[in-house]
Amino acid sequence: MTITATMVKQLRDRTGAGMMDCKNALVEAGGDEDKAVEIIQKKGLAKAAKKAGAIATEGAIHAYIHPGSRLGVLVEVNCQTDFVARSDEFRTFVEEVALQIASMSPLFVRRDEITPAAVEKQREIFRGQLAEEEAQSGKKRPAAAVDKIIDGKLEKWMTEVCLAEQQSVRDGEKTIQQLGDELTAKIGEKIAVRRFVRFELGEGLEKKTSDLAAEVAEALKGS
């Protein structure tokens, strides 16, 4: 099948991939645009995996202050070149990450940052919760069942407290890690969230506070 310039342009508009990559994907897909998109995505994510070990020292430190100045986020997101750091796509991703942190209050960037002590502490919290449930119901679970339930709760907890594994508040179909990998595949540079801090006014003090995280999430829905 003849691959026309119009077909290549349409595919490029959909994927953002290079002209030659689009043409080659269309040839491989026999002119089927949807299949060509899948080919580009697969090859792009494969490239992203290869970039995982690359050193990314450029990027941006971005500050987000929620309206009312009661909640703030400071986040560092890295890429490999200053050129990409200035691009609209990179800046949009950085802003999205900051809003995610403000809304979902992660504790870590990635799972490998969670210390064994933190895991054990959470395990004991879940064990205490189950013990309380048993005391109220009068039904005692077998030890093996308790351990299995706790393991499941720990897995869920890790996905909730790790930024990379959280579902994006803007795109609930993808995690922050997936969005970063897709951007890496698209621009050809490693994109990685390095660190962040989240401040909430009065945090840790004995006073009545509103749910700022819920406010941010609600604001995002309307944006």
163 or 222: which carries more pLDDT confidence? Answer: 163
Residue 5: band (very low, low, confident or very high) from pLDDT cuts 50, 70, 90: confident
- CATH homologous superfamily of 56-108+163-222 equals Elongation factor Ts, dimerisation domain (3.30.479.20)
Read off the pLDDT of residues 81-123 as tens digits, 9 standing for 90 and up. Answer: 999 999 999 999 999 999 999 999 999 999 999 999 999 999 9
pLDDT surpassing 80 at residue 8: yes
Strands 58-65 and 71-79: what pairing? antiparallel
User: In terms of CATH architecture, what is 5-52?
Assistant: Orthogonal Bundle (1.10)
**Tokens read off for 112:** 């490998």
Give strand pairing partners of 108: 162
State mean pLDDT over 48-76: 84
- Distance between CA 104 and CA 137 in Å, rounded? 33
Residue 36: band (very low, low, confident or very high) from pLDDT cuts 50, 70, 90: confident
Residue 94 CB neighbour total at 10 angstroms: 22
Give strand pairing partners of 76: 61, 195
Q: Name the nearest CA neighbour of 169 among 109, 210, 219, 211.
A: 219
Residue carrying structure tokens 């508009």: 13
- Domain boundaries of the chain, sorted by first residue: 5-52, 56-108+163-222, 115-159
Question: pLDDT over 70 for what percent of the chain?
Answer: 88
pLDDT surpassing 70 at residue 45: no
- Distance between CA 118 and CA 127 in Å, rounded? 14
Read off the pLDDT of residues 190-211 as tens digits, 9 standing for 90 and up. Answer: 899 999 999 999 887 765 555 6
Which own/partner pairs from 47-52 qualify as long-range (CB within 8 Å, at least 24 positions apart)? Answer: 47/184, 47/185, 47/188, 48/181, 48/182, 48/184, 48/185, 48/190, 51/184, 51/188, 51/189, 51/190, 52/190
Residue 52: band (very low, low, confident or very high) from pLDDT cuts 50, 70, 90: low
163 or 48: which carries more pLDDT confidence? Answer: 163
- Distance between CA 173 and CA 157 in Å, rounded? 19
Q: What is the pTM of this model?
A: 0.69
